[in-house]
Amino acid sequence: MDERIAGYDTKMGKTLKNLESELGTIRAGRANPHVLDRITVDYYGAPTPLQQVANITVPEARMIQIQPWDGTLLKLIEKAILVSDLGINPTNDGKLIRLVFPELTEERRKELVKDVKKKGEAAKVAVRNIRRDANDAFKKLAKSDVSEDEIKELEDNIQKLTDKYIKEIDKSVEVKSKEIMTV
């Protein structure tokens, strides 16, 4: 691959990875520990990701258990979950915290699918913006000693790259939508 295109390939790849991590935090019917990825706990004055202060398990399809390594963190973890946008009330039994995920209603599933599609569209826009930046950079090369044919080839290659990532984004959105709509 041309090194002039490799940088744009990396940027598009990061956009796709970002989308996939965002989609991972959207909960479907099953309990997924990744919904806790964005939750941080104040641990000795530093905001620390939940995964670094507790053991997180999924004992049942619709339940997540959080067992902190330091018992003094129970209240802090409970508070962090309550102020997050998870929308689930934690149950604290003094040793561990349980999150029970209610069954999603049809209406809520459809809302989540819309949200997934919106995130997918935003990722596509980001990829297209990267393509536009690349094409602008290639046009500037025309002022130097690069031939029109070479610039045309670079533009074709960046378009192929864009198409590839748009297809990947569509596939990720479709997989997540299907996962959400599965009862």
65: CATH: 3.30.1360.40
Q: In whole angstroms, give the CA distance from residue 149 to residue 166.
A: 26
Q: End of a domain among 100, 120, 149?
A: 100
Beta bridge partner(s), residue 98: 65, 91
Full residue range of the structural domain in which residue 43 is found = 33-100
Pairing of strands 40-43, 63-68: unpaired
Whether the model clears a pTM of 0.85, i.e. scores above it, the answer is no
Tokens 């009330």 belong to 89
In this structure, which amino acid lies at residue 145? D
Q: Are residues 151 and 125 in the same domain?
A: yes
Beta bridge partner(s), residue 92: 97
Q: Are residues 163 and 141 in the same domain?
A: yes
Total of domains in the chain: 2
Q: Are residues 119 and 90 in the same domain?
A: no
- Residue 105, both tokens: 């209603």
pLDDT score for 104: 76
Q: Are residues 121 and 167 in the same domain?
A: yes
Element (H, E) at 8: helix 3-24
Digit-coded pLDDT (tens) for 13-54 = 999 999 988 887 776 666 778 778 888 888 888 888 888 888
